[in-house]
Amino acid sequence: MKINIEIDITPLEARSFLGLPDVGPMQEEVLAQMKKKALEGLDNFDPTKVDPTKIMENYFSLYPKWMESFSKMAEKR
């Protein structure tokens, strides 16, 4: 025997039903702080002093083999 139950509720209703806190206000505060930091960073951004190598190193540092793979791909062209 197979029984399927479908419940149509919002995430807020599900959290309330399960006794979990409403994290909406905290998320809004965190996003506001992130936005503030990002905008502050743009104020200090000087495109003439950007080192593309550093940007690429930061990007590829997530997976060290990417830089190696990227270098090999660039050599083939």
Contacts of 22 (CB under 8 A, 6+ apart): 12, 15, 16
What pLDDT digit, counting tens, does each position of 6-44 carry? 999 998 899 889 999 888 889 899 999 888 887 877 766
> Has residue 3 been placed in a domain?
no
What per-residue confidence (pLDDT) applies to 73?
Answer: 73
Q: Which structural domain, as residue segments, surrounds residue 16?
A: 10-45
Q: For residue 6, what are the CA distances in angstroms to 3, 10, 16, 38, 60?
A: 10, 13, 18, 42, 44
What pLDDT digit, counting tens, does each position of 36-73 carry? 887 877 766 677 777 777 767 766 666 667 667 767 77
Contact criterion met (CB below 8 Å) for 67 and 73: no
Question: pTM for the complete prediction?
Answer: 0.44
**Count of domains in the chain?**
2
> Has residue 77 been placed in a domain?
yes
Q: Are residues 34 and 55 in the same domain?
A: no
> Has residue 39 been placed in a domain?
yes
> Has residue 52 been placed in a domain?
yes
What per-residue confidence (pLDDT) applies to 64?
Answer: 67
The band of 76, judged by pLDDT with boundaries at 50, 70 and 90, is low
Q: Are residues 39 and 19 in the same domain?
A: yes
